[in-house]
Structure 1
C-alpha cells in the first residue's frame, strides 16, 4: 500500500502494544513477546523497541526476561514497561539504560502515564514495592485502562469498570458495569474528555460518557463490528484495540480479523475500513498530531500453539492518514 510503510527490525514474536510519543509525532514504542538469547540459550522473553518512523529505523531495543505486555512514554526521552516478569522498568531512550523501579506480585497488564503521576495496575493483590508509589486494591483482574486529563478508566473482569480522579485515588468516582456482555479486550478515552469506548471479545464496541446525568447517559450505545458472513456462517472476531484521533475525536478499531476501521461515534457511522492485513491486529495508536496510525500485526494465540506453527513473523505498519478520519461536515470546533 502506498499510504503506509512497514517498519524495519520488527519484533520476532507477537506484538502486545504500540504507543506513540505524546510530543514527537515520529517516535514509536512497540512491546512484544520476543524470544532472545540468555547465556546462549533461547528463552521466552520480551522486548521494547524504540523507532523513528520517519527514518524507518530502530533507535533502541530493551531486552526483558519475560513477555512485555505494556509500555508507555513518560517524556520525550523516557518510557516505562512491564509484563509477565512483574517488574516495572524505566527505560532511558537515549542511553538504552534500564532502571528497575519496583516489583508486583503478578503480571503487569496495562500502563499509563500522567504528568502528575504514573499509574500502574495489576491484579488486586499486587502493590508496587517503591516508596513513591501508592497502591490501590481492586476487586477483579485488570484487563485494560486508559487516562484522559485527570480521569482514569479501569476495565476489569466480571464486566466491572472503575472510574477514578487520579488526584483522589482513595476511592473510584464511579463504578459501572460494562454495556457489553462479554470480556473487555480494548479501551480508549476520548481526547475531548467526554467519555470512552470499549471493545469486547465478541466483536462489539460500546460508546459511553462520563457525565452521569440521564441526558448524557441516553447517548451511550453499542454496535456490532469485526464480523463477516462466509458461506452462510457468521464469523465473529475480538476487538483487540481502540485508538481515538487526537484532533477529530473519531476512533479506530482493530480486530483479530486483520481489519482496521475508522468510526465517527457521534454520527454512529463507519468512515473507512482499510485493506485487510494478513494476520490479526493486536494494537493500534495514532501519533500526537494525528497524521499517522501505527498498526501492529501479529498472531494473537487464539488458536494456541498449533496456530503459532504457521504464523508469519510480526510486522508493524505506519499509515499516513487523511480526510478519512475526519467527521463529515467538520468545521474545526
Structure 2
C-alpha cells in the first residue's frame, strides 16, 4: 500500500462532497455531485451498494449500517434502506440542502439548507409529513457538526449558531457567534471531547474554539495558519475545506482544497498553484502539527477517520475551481494511520 493509501474501486464520477464511517465498522459512505451515495466495505475494498438520488448529493449520513440519508441540490431530504431497496423523501427545503446530521439520542435527522433554515425530521412519520421543527437562521448553511450535546451550524456572513440538542426544537440557539476568522467559513467539526469545535476558512486558517463562555476558558481559544507555502517569494494560501477529528486521541486532520472563486486573497499564484493536495495532522490542545502527507492527485475535498482512528478516508476530488479543464479523476483513498501521526506529543517539562 502506498503512503497515500489504498484506492477504492468504482469511485464517484463527479466531485466528492462528504465521507463518513459508520461507528466502529469498516463501512464508508461517500456522497457526490454525480447524484449518488455509495457505501464501501473498506476492509474488503469493495463497493457494497449505490443509491442514485436523482440530483447532486451535497452530504449524506448513516442512520444504521444499512440506512442512509442524503442532502440534495434539489432541496430534497431522502432516506434509503439498502437492505430493502426502499427510498423515501422525508421532505424538502426551498433551497439546496447542504448538510445533514443524524441525532441518535433524539431519533431525529436535522438538515441545513441554503434557504437559511434548519429542519428536524422524524423518519417514523409518513414520507412527506411536515418537519418536527423549522429553525430560521441568519445565513445560508455551509457546514454543520454534532456532538453528544450540541449542534454547531456555520453559515454565510461568518455566522455560527450553537444549539443545545435538548432544546433544539425550540429553535433558539444557546449561543450566536461570529467566526473569529476574517474570511468565508468552509468547514466546522466538533472536538472529540465535546468541549468545543474547530472551524476553517478560505484564508488557510483554522480556529480552535470552546463552548464554555467562562473568561479563563475563552482565553485559551486561538487560530493558526495551515496549508500555506512560500513559492517564488509569494505566500500561497489554500482554503481548508476538510476537518476530521478522531475519538481515541482527540487530534484532527485537515485537507487543503483550492479556492473556487478567484481572485480573492485565499488563492494566489498560477492555476497549478491553487491546490496543495496535502493532509496535515494536528494536536489542537498543544498547538502542534504532528505529521503531514502530501502528493494526492488533486484537492483533498473530504476526510473521515474510522472509529479506532486506525484508518483515514481521503477524497481526492477536483472541485472546478478553475472551470472546465482536464483534471485527475475523482478518487477515494483509505490509508493506514500510524499512532505517531495522531497521538498527542507529551509536552516537555521546562528546565529547572
TM-score (norm 1): 0.91
1:139-194 Cα distance to aligned partner (Å, 9 max, x none):
11111110000200000111111100122122000111101000000111011111
The structural deviation recorded for 1:215 is 0.5
Aligned residue for 1:135, secondary structure, equals: strand
Aligned residue for 2:157, secondary structure, equals: helix
Aligned residue for 2:329, secondary structure, equals: coil
The structural deviation recorded for 1:64 is 2.1
Aligned residue for 1:167, secondary structure, equals: helix
CA distance in 2, matches of 1:172, 1:19: 26
Which sits farther off after the overlay, 312-321 or 118-127?
Answer: 118-127
1:282-321 Cα distance to aligned partner (Å, 9 max, x none):
100111121111000110121122xxx2112100000111
1:12 matched to which residue of 2? 13
1:63 matched to which residue of 2? 52
CA distance in 2, matches of 1:12, 1:132: 32
Aligned residue for 1:329, secondary structure, equals: coil
CA distance in 2, matches of 1:29, 1:211: 33
Count of paired positions: 315
Aligned residue for 1:8, secondary structure, equals: coil
Q: Is the contact made by 1:52 and 1:59 (CA closer than 8 Å) also made in structure 2?
A: yes
1:53 to 27, 42, 45: 42
Q: Is the contact made by 2:149 and 2:194 (CA closer than 8 Å) also made in structure 1?
A: no
Kindly indicate whether residue 90 of structure 2 is the aligned counterpart of residue 119 of structure 1: no
Question: Displaced runs of 4+ in structure 1, greater than 4 A?
Answer: 125-129
1:166 matched to which residue of 2? 165
Gaps of 5+ in 1: 35-45
1:106 matched to which residue of 2? 95
Kindly indicate whether residue 249 of structure 2 is the aligned counterpart of residue 248 of structure 1: yes
CA distance in 2, matches of 1:211, 1:229: 37
CA distance in 2, matches of 1:110, 1:125: 11
CA distance in 1, matches of 2:32, 2:53: 10
1:27 matched to which residue of 2? 27
CA distance in 2, matches of 1:275, 1:241: 15
**1:1-333 superposed matches below 5 A:** 1-3=1-3, 4-24=5-25, 26-34=26-34, 46-115=35-104, 116=106, 117-122=108-113, 123-124=115-116, 130-169=129-168, 170=170, 171-256=172-257, 257-305=276-324, 309-323=325-339, 324-329=341-346
RMSD, aligned CA: 1.5
Gaps of 5+ in 2: 122-127, 258-275, 348-352
1:46-67 Cα distance to aligned partner (Å, 9 max, x none):
1111100111111110112221
TM-score (norm 2): 0.86
CA distance in 2, matches of 1:119, 1:227: 34
1:176-222 Cα distance to aligned partner (Å, 9 max, x none):
11010000001110111111001101100000001000000001000
Q: Is the contact made by 1:227 and 1:236 (CA closer than 8 Å) also made in structure 2?
A: yes
The structural deviation recorded for 1:235 is 1.0
